[in-house]
Structure 1
């Protein structure tokens, strides 16, 4: 039941944000999409959860231009500093594991301005 609530909350929150005109992407929105992935990224889960992949797929469509992609990339790097134990291989493979290739890298060491 908790997983259903989290998925519904993430879906409704992102839908609300995306529907607003002249919206600027925020780190909170990026964090909201990625929060369900922490257990996979720390290898406490073998595979990403459905909620995690839903968040990755929503994140894929959120940045509308290069500036927002760079911003989202930097938000993810900042969030990675908060969580200890993130595994580089899990981070690098997340978008492939969710079948949702992103238009920016998920890499804690990448240069988001490239």
Structure 2
């Protein structure tokens, strides 16, 4: 799951423009997570990544869905309860 978000790493670390391959990866992640179990697995993966981010990086990663025009059934957050994702 993390591989979908690797193209977003530079943006999350440094800001600037969101690369198109980052948006493509985020879209791919959403498309790959078809079942509730898949979405919960993706959520847990993203939660573990979010736990290691600074506040600035967390703010940038939280903007990705809007900047990429992608709807996620959860937020990037270190405190999200992924068991509640449907």
Q: Do Structure 1 and Structure 2 share a fold, with TM-score over 0.5?
A: yes
* Structure 1 residue ranges, 4+ long, deviating more than 6 angstroms after superposition: none
Given the two structures, how large is their TM-score scaled by the length of structure 1?
0.64
Which is bigger in relative contact order (C-alpha 8 A, separation at least 6)? 2
Match of 2:8 among 23, 37, 41: 37
Structure 2 gap ranges (5+)? none
Q: Pick the structure with greater CA Rg.
A: 1
Aligned equivalent of 2:73: 103
Check whether the contact 2:15–2:60 (CA below 8 A) recurs between aligned residues. Answer: no
- In the superposition, the TM-score normalised over structure 2's length comes to 0.81
If each structure's helix is expressed as a fraction of its own residues, which one has the higher value? 2
Which residue of the partner structure matches residue 55 of structure 1? 25
How far is 1:105 from its partner?
A: 2.3
Count residues with an aligned counterpart.
83
Unaligned ranges ≥5, structure 1: 1-29
